[in-house]
Amino acid sequence: MTDKKAYIVADVGGTYLKTAVMSPDGDLFPGSSSMTEAHSEGSREEILDAMRDAIIKEKRILEQNNAKLSGIAMTFPGPFNYYKGVSLMEHKFRELKNIDLKECISKMPEVGEEVPVVFRHDANSLLAGELWRGNAVGYRNAAAVTLGTGLGFAFSRGGVVQQNEIGGPLITIFRIPYNDGILEDYTSKRGFLSLYKNLSGKESIDGVEVSDIGKWASEGDPVSQRVFEEVGVILAQSLKPLLKELEIECLLFGGQISRSFHCMESKVREELKDMKALKNISVVRSIENAPLWGALQLIENNESV
C-alpha cells in the first residue's frame, strides 16, 4: 500500500457534480477533472448513485497514480448543516433532507468508514480557496460574491472565513431589500434575464442565457452592455455599506456569471472608488478550482487538528 496521499474533492451543484483528485498541496491529478449529472430532483437512490459514480471515476485515477484515498471533501449550497453533514434543502436535493450524508458516503464500498468526509458551503469554500491559492492571498479581510442561479456571499476576518453555527456564511446578502423585492431578484440569473427582456423590448427571450448576454455585451451590443452595467451599479451600491463595515480589503467575484465580470467592472469600481480599505477588486483566480481548493483545505486542516 502506498503512502502517497490524495483527496477526492467535489463541488456539488443542482445540475452537476464537479469532481477531481487533488494532492495535499491542491494540485490536480492529470485527467481527474470530471462532471457527473447530479440528479438533484431525483430520488435519494438516484442522487446517491450519482455521487457514487463520481467517486468510482475518481478512485480509478487514484489507483492509476498509486495513491491512497485520504479523504473526501464536498461543497454544497445551503441550507445545510455542514458540521453534521446533513442537508436542509427543500428547493433541490429534497430527497436528501435530514439524511446523514456523511454516513451514506462512508458506507459506500468504494469509500469505507475510515475515510474522513467533510462538507463546506460553496461560497465559503470558494473564498477559502482564494485565500489559500488565489487572488485573495495576503489579504486578511476579504469577501467573495457569487453570481449565478442565486446570489452568495462569504467574507473573512483576519484571514479566517467567518461561519455561522452550522457552517454556513455568517452574513447573507441575497435577502437585502431592493426596490419591490430583494437583491437576489435583481442580480442573480433571473435578474439579468428580466432586465434584458425589459431593456430589449422583446416579447420572449426563451433560450437566452446570461452567458449569451455577456457575449453580446463583449461584442458591443449596447442593450447587453447596459444590462451588466446596471446590475454592477445595483450590486456595488447595495454592498457598499456592508463592505465598509467589514473593512473589506479584497473583493472577488465568482460563479458562472462572473465570467462576464469585465462587462460590469468599470461601474463596480466607480461606485466603490472612495472605499479606502478596498485595495483589490477582481474575479476569482479560478472559477472551477477555488471551491475545490477550499474544500481540500478544510479536510487537510481537520486532519492536522
Q: Which helix (H) or strand (E) holds 36?
A: strand 34-37
Q: Please state, in angstroms and as integers, the Cα–Cα distance from residue 129 to each residue in 107, 186, 293, following that order.
A: 28, 27, 5
* Span 185-209, average pLDDT: 95
Residues 231-272: tens digit of each pLDDT: 999 999 999 999 999 999 999 999 989 999 999 999 999 999
Q: What is the mean pLDDT of the chain?
A: 93
Q: pLDDT band for 302, please (50, 70, 90 cuts).
A: low
The residues, any chain, with a CB within 8 Å of residue 279's CB and separated by 6 or more, are: 139, 249, 250
Q: What pTM, to 2 d.p., does this model score?
A: 0.92
CA 116 to chain centre: 22
Domains of the chain: 5-124+290-304 (3.30.420.40), 138-283 (3.30.420.40)
d(CA 69, CA 111): 8
Q: Which of 172, 167, 291, 189 is nearest to 238 (CA)?
A: 172
Q: How far apart are CA 33 and CA 273, in angstroms?
A: 38
Average pLDDT over every residue of 210-231: 97
Is 90 exceeded by the pLDDT of residue 127?
yes
Q: Give me the pLDDT at residue 14, please.
A: 83
Q: What is the pLDDT of residue 201?
A: 94
Pairing, β 177-178 against β 80-81: unpaired
Mean pLDDT over residues 268-288, rounded? 96
